[in-house]
Amino acid sequence: MSNRVLLAFALAFVSGLGGMTSGLASMSMTDTLNTRRPDDDQIPPVVASWKDLQKHWELTAKHGFFYHWTLMEQFQQEFPQSRLPIWYVAGLVWMITFGLVGAVVLLTAR
């Protein structure tokens, strides 16, 4: 393997860390919002069953395709001192940036 291919794999790993950070921040925000909601109005943090998928579709139909951003706005209104939305967005930016750089490195490797 060439050094460029190894570099691409290292960048993919670093990109995955950003994705993990974003995912953990998202799940923490969802869990925190769920503590203030009744049991029949809970937001599934992870789609792990058919019932969770149906709930996800219901929320998407009710609030639009980008309902996840409305959840972040709601979280910021209820918990204005929390840094979780910042970590979520930073993780996404980190993941996309290093993922694209890794893809470019891998595509230009000879």
**pLDDT range class, residue 110, cuts 50, 70, 90:** low
- Residue 13 domain-assigned? no
Residue 103 inside a domain? The answer is no
Q: Is residue 34 part of a domain?
A: yes
State which residues form the domain around 89.
Answer: 21-96
In a domain, residue 11? The reply is no
Longest dimension (CA), the chain: 57
Q: What is the pLDDT of residues 18-32, one digit of tens each?
A: 999 998 998 899 899
Count of domains forming the chain: 1
pTM, two decimal places:
0.77
Task: Write the pLDDT tens digit of every residue in 35-90.
Answer: 888 887 787 777 788 887 888 788 778 777 777 778 888 899 999 999 999 999 99
Q: Has residue 47 been placed in a domain?
A: yes
Position 20 scores a pLDDT of 94
Q: What is the pLDDT of residue 42?
A: 81
Instruction: Report pLDDT for 3.
Output: 84
Whether 3 maps to a domain, the answer reads: no
